[in-house]
Structure formats: C-alpha cells, structure tokens
C-alpha cells in the first residue's frame, strides 16, 4: 500500500462539484478582470493539469529518461478558449481521469510509487510527490473558486438591480 491518500485524490472531484453548486452559467463564466480566470477556466485548468500529470506518471513508469514536460497554464486556458467551454465538461474529464488514474494507482507496488523523473525545473520528483502535489494544487484552486464565486455572485446580483 502506498503512502498516497488515493481517497483524498478521488474526493477532489466532489469538492469541485460542491464548490460550483448553484452557480448560473453567467456566474461560472464571470471574470473579475480580463487577466483573471473565471470558475469555468479554473476547472479547465484543473482538467488540463490532470492530463499533464497523467502523462508524467506514465512517462516515469515507462522508465523514460527525458525531462518531464512543463505546460503554460495561462496559454493553455486562453488557447483553448476555455471560458467558451462548459464547466461541466471539464469536471467530467477531470472525474474520468481521476478514476482512470486511481485504477493505475491500485496496481502500483511500493517501489513504483517511489519511481522518479526530472521535472522542468531540474528537480527529481517521485510519483507519490506528483499525486500528493496535484491533490494539494486542487485545494489551492478551490480557494480561488470561492473568491471568484463571491465576486461573480455580487456582480450578477448588482446587474439584476
């Protein structure tokens, strides 16, 4: 058994679902300013990040020795016109990747959890670190969603008056 909290990893989806519960489409797409992210964009970013870590984990397990790829999160969000997409579609991809990865995690030995690669900064990262870091990263974005949500609710309410 690994030292990774797989249940905590899987629970991130439900936390995101609860965080956006009751938001209208307008509130999901609201932005405090053009340079900030909407809730929809945050969710697209988390789906993208899940794709990236899924690749990184598999690359490490395949024993490739190339540097693990970075990704330009802002460029990915803007380049795919994420705010024109659907928050629910991003959440569904996120859920699917969590589930698929958890099946892989269940097959890993303790030694495989410790396998490592070199990240874009040149640091050694283990699979256990990647999964733990990703779970923590989602928590950071849950805080961001709460801040955006408060602004969106207030802005949409003031427009209705």
Give the largest Cα separation in the chain, rounded: 60
**What is the average pLDDT across 73-86?**
96
Percent of the chain past pLDDT 90, that is, above it, reads 86
**What is the average pLDDT across 18-43?**
96
- Average pLDDT score over the chain: 94
**pLDDT at residue 121 is higher than 60:** yes
Backbone angles phi, psi at 24, to 5 degrees: -75, 165
What's the predicted TM-score (pTM) here? 0.93
Q: Which of 76, 70, 74, 73 is nearest to 35 (CA)?
A: 74
Distance of CA 38 to the CA centre of its chain: 14
**pLDDT at residue 6 is higher than 50:** yes
pLDDT value at residue 4: 75
16 pLDDT band, cuts 50/70/90, is very high
**pLDDT at residue 157 is higher than 90:** no
28 pLDDT band, cuts 50/70/90, is very high
Instruction: Please name every residue paired with 82 in a beta bridge, in sequence order, or none if there are none.
Output: none
């Amino acid at each position: 058994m690994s030292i990774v909290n797989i249940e905590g990893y899987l629970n991130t989806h439900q936390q995101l679902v609860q965080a956006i519960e009751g938001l209208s489409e307008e509130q999901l797409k609201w932005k405090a300013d053009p340079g900030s992210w909407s809730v929809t964009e945050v969710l697209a970013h988390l789906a993208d990040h899940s794709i990236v870590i899924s690749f990184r984990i598999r690359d490490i397990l395949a024993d490739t020795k190339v540097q693990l790829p970075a990704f330009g999160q802002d460029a990915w969000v803007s380049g795919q016109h994420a705010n024109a997409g659907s928050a629910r579609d991003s959440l569904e991809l996120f859920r699917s990747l969590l589930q698929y990865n958890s099946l892989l995690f269940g097959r890993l030995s303790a030694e495989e959890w410790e396998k490592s690669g070199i990240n874009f900064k040149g640091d050694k990262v283990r699979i256990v670190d990647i999964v733990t870091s990703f779970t923590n990263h989602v928590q950071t974005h849950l805080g961001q969603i709460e801040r955006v949500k408060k602004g969106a609710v207030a802005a949409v309410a003031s427009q209705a008056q």
